């Protein structure tokens, strides 16, 4: 059972007869005891007259998947199988990160009928959101008390990454169409494939003249080229302890997810094969052999429950796992946080073996606050903070230089700028015929 605020008000109203009868000479404790006894009797009567909440059938309607930060309506339906009208107060028990409203919903359900209440959710965390039960309170006719019951109705929603970087996708797709379709490459680069023939125009590369086609056509014909398709792009996301650091409104691993989704969408549209690996000491997520329209749903579904772990990443095992995804030359994009020489030793030691017959691009998420700290000199504390920031930036540059010496390319940017920069570098490799 439960009691409402009306019971407290009813007991407080007893002060009036207590004062009046006290002035008439009656013993106050008798009047107070009689009033409290009356309130108890009314409360018990109200509980007995309230419809049983256990005679209600409860069902919930929820979507299977939702994007992080989006408002998602869910609903709870009550079917009154009793013989009296149910005045219900409903609480849907979602975990706090689901972003459910704290308001309780009131429903009046006549006998034999069904009513539905809506509960908007706005998730604040990726992964599985679970609700185990729905709590229902049935209020009595006097409104002093009632009965409550807990109905076990288990449902789960998988919260996918927000993919806020998709706003950069239309402009990159336009550049890809220019590169791949409307304006084919005029100069043959390494790894490009034949596209079509056209007439020679002054200024074209004479090395691309097709002499056999020229003899047949009676005019100088030129070969045009386009980037090869069916290339392999392997995206490896570091989920070790360095990825757990907060940068901006999220963590480094969240920024890595945004960059990988933008690159995967672009590469899939370009006709390449995309593989995903999320790794620290073991494989946390793996997507391979999925192409076309099914790629992005498979990636987001695999990424959703994965969060950074407070362990050091085993880089030799990580690159060994990468080599199991494809045996062909590929572009390997490693999204990690290598900004300190001490913590990057294992990564740099394993990088040369991975760079054979492949192109390696290392993307790191940086914090804009470090650069702003390095520019402040207003007080003694700010000078010390600026010195520490300068040291951090210099260490990151040293690690980036070591990556370049090992045969890779390093890109460091803030969470907002990293996804488009990696996508632009992918397009540059396509245009140069290196992919």
Contact yes or no for 204/222 (Cβ under 8 A): yes
Averaged pLDDT of the chain: 84
pLDDT at 268: 92
Residue ranges with strand state E in 310-404: 330-336, 359-365
Question: Predicted confidence band at 191 (pLDDT cuts at 50, 70, 90)?
Answer: very low
pLDDT at 258: 94
Residues forming beta bridges with residue 222, ordered by sequence position: 198, 209
Query: Which residues neighbour 55 within 8 Å (Cβ) at sequence distance 6 or greater?
Result: 80, 81, 82
For residues 315 and 346, give the distance between their C-alpha atoms in angstroms, rounded to a whole number: 6
Q: Whole-prediction pTM value?
A: 0.79
Question: Predicted confidence band at 167 (pLDDT cuts at 50, 70, 90)?
Answer: very high
Give the chain's radius of gyration (CA, Å): 33
The two structure tokens encoding residue 46: 């109200």
Rounded average pLDDT over 356-374: 81
pLDDT at 227: 58
**pLDDT digit string, tens, across residues 265-289:** 999 998 899 999 999 999 999 999 8
Question: Predicted confidence band at 357 (pLDDT cuts at 50, 70, 90)?
Answer: low
């Amino acid at each position: 059972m439960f009691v409402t605020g009306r019971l407290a008000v009813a007991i407080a109203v007893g002060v009036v007869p207590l004062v009046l009868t006290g002035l008439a000479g009656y013993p106050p404790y008798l009047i107070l005891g009689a009033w409290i006894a009356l309130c108890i009797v009314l409360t018990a009567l109200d509980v007995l007259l309230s419809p049983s909440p256990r005679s209600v059938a409860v069902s919930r309607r929820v979507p299977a998947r939702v994007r992080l930060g989006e408002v998602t309506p869910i609903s709870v339906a009550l079917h009154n199988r009793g013989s009296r009208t149910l005045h219900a107060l409903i609480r849907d028990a979602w975990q706090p990160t689901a972003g459910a409203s704290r308001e309780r919903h009131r429903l009046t359900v006549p006998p034999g009928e069904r009513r539905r209440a809506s509960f908007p959710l706005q998730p604040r965390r990726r992964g599985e959101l679970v609700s185990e039960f729905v709590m229902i309170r049935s209020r009595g006719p006097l409104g002093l008390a009632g009965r409550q019951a807990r109905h076990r109705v288990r449902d789960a929603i998988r919260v996918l990454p927000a993919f806020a970087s998709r706003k950069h996708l239309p402009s990159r797709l336009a550049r890809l169409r220019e590169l791949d379709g409307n304006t084919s490459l005029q100069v043959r680069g390494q790894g490009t494939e034949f596209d079509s023939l056209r007439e020679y125009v002054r200024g074209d590369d004479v090395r691309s003249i097709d002499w056999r086609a020229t003899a047949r056509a009676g005019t100088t014909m030129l070969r045009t080229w386009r980037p090869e398709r069916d290339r392999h792009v392997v995206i490896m996301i570091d989920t070790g302890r360095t990825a757990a650091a907060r940068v901006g409104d999220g963590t480094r691993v969240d920024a890595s997810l945004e960059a990988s989704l933008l690159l995967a969408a672009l590469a899939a549209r370009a006709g390449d094969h995309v593989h995903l690996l999320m790794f620290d000491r073991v494989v946390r997520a793996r997507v391979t052999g999925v192409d076309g329209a099914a790629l992005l749903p498979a990636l987001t579904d695999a990424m959703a429950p994965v969060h950074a772990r407070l362990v050091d990443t085993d880089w030799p095992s990580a690159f060994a796992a990468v080599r199991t995804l494809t045996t062909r030359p590929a572009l390997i994009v490693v999204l990690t946080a290598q900004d300190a020489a001490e913590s990057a030793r294992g990564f740099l030691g394993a990088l040369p073996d991975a760079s054979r017959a492949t192109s390696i691009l290392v993307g790191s998420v940086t914090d804009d606050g470090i650069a702003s700290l390095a520019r402040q000199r207003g007080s003694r504390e700010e000078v010390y903070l600026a010195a520490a920031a300068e040291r951090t930036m210099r260490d990151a540059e040293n690690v980036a230089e070591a990556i370049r010496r090992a045969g890779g390319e390093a890109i460091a940017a803030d969470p907002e700028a990293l996804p488009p920069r990696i996508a632009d570098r992918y397009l540059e490799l396509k245009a140069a015929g290196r992919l």
